[in-house]
Amino acid sequence: MLSGAHRFPKQDQVVYGRPAAEVAAELAKSWGAGRILLTTTRSLAGGLAAEFATALGDLCVGIYAEIGAHSPREGVIGGAAEARRTSADLIVALGGGSVIDATKVMQLCLWAGLERAEQLDAYRAGRGADRVDVTKIPAGIRFIAVPTTLSAAEFTPFAGVSDAAQHVKEGYAHPMLAPRAVVLDPAMTLATPPNLWASTGMKAVDHAVEQLCHPVRAPYADALAADGLKRLAQGLSATRGRPEDLEARLQCQFGMWLAISGVGSGRGMGVSHAIGHTLGGSYGVPHGITSCVTLPAVLQWSAPDAIAPQAQISELLDYPGPAASAVRELVAGLGLPTDLRSVGILPKDFQAIAEHTMHDAGVRSNPRPIRGPEDIVEILELAAG
């Protein structure tokens, strides 16, 4: 008999199809908040974020735009300091996965009183005598996420923050890290560069595919992933040809939301994500791009042990051949890189990447078991180009 448990994120609501600033102001007032700090990136600070702050009016007490790619620790600590300085009682994160992940951990810094980057060491996910049990830290200030990409970070209680000194990306988790509310406003994505939009869409595709191929079944997660994958493929292709099509963008947002929602089944992600964590945290490859180059190779390597789910993936993508080819063709059709060489990763790097990746939990969730670094190297060779 199939058994399991599904954990829903600690979110009050997801609002879609309405102007994001209007929704954020309504939520702030309904929660009794009157001092909003807006977190974002430098690229959005003078345009979209400034317009958003103006729309919030007196509710906005500042814009913090010092969050870089892969959510560096220093940006997280700086954001927490700015929230204290402005006496913010609510944060709104406007941006992609890096902004949203950084804001998640900013909350943790505020709840636990962390003021220096090195203090984060004890709060990383994992086990050991030096780790703090973060679940015992009471939640305080929360945030609203307004995503501008399709990373789906806003739907999980997990976050990745990079430690530049160690050249690694580390995980953080707390049941209340997920934003209290998410606003899916496709108009907020119009300024997102086309390749960033498409590549984060491929990260969402990766979420769906790895859920469908997971060796442990979870009907709720499977159903969400299947519908999400179909919406993503159709929506991404449509926005490639019609960038101003808000309905197609909203369908992509729905697909992204559905694809990630099944992760609450507790199954976790697979080896494509595991390799992607290494490529992103240690080699600086953007998150969505990692999925473009790793997912087809993982599907190809795993095919003999995932015949039924891969056939379903091909059907959902309306492709007559193997799932690996279906995904690779989708990536190419979006004008994105399909091999490691194109993103600066060479065969001389493969062994180090493989050994590092073996420490990621995702290697234990592949339909074809990963026995050791040599299997990861085989996947990387398929992705080499």
pLDDT of residue 374: 98
pLDDT above 80: residue 264: no
Work out the percent of the chain whose per-residue pLDDT is above 90.
88
Enumerate residues 6+ apart whose C-beta is below 8 A from 116.
Answer: 77
- The CA angle 343-202-103, to the nearest 5 degrees, is 90
State how far the Cα of 249 lies from the Cα of 233, in Å rounded to an integer.
11
pLDDT class of 168 with cuts at 50, 70, 90: confident
More confident residue, 265 or 147: 147
pLDDT above 90: residue 32: yes
pLDDT of residue 265: 79
Enumerate residues 6+ apart whose C-beta is below 8 A from 152.
Answer: 97, 203, 204, 207, 256, 257, 259, 260
pLDDT above 90: residue 125: no
Mean pLDDT value across residues 77-99:
97
pLDDT of residue 166: 82
pLDDT of residue 329: 98
pLDDT above 80: residue 51: yes
Q: Each residue of 188-219: b (16+ CB within 10 Å) or e? A: bbeebeeebbbbbbbbbbbbbbbbbbbbeebe
What does pTM read for this prediction? 0.95
> HEC string of 39-84?
ECCHHHHCCHHHHHHHHHHHHEEEEECCCCCCCEHHHHHHHHHHHH
pLDDT of residue 82: 98
State how far the Cα of 6 lies from the Cα of 218, in Å rounded to an integer.
9
Q: Which of 130, 141, 296 is nearest to 210 (CA)?
A: 296
Q: Which domains does the chain have, with CATH numbers?
A: 13-188 (3.40.50.1970), 193-382 (1.20.1090.10)
pLDDT of residue 10: 92
State how far the Cα of 260 lies from the Cα of 204, in Å rounded to an integer.
7
Mean pLDDT, the chain, whole residue set:
95
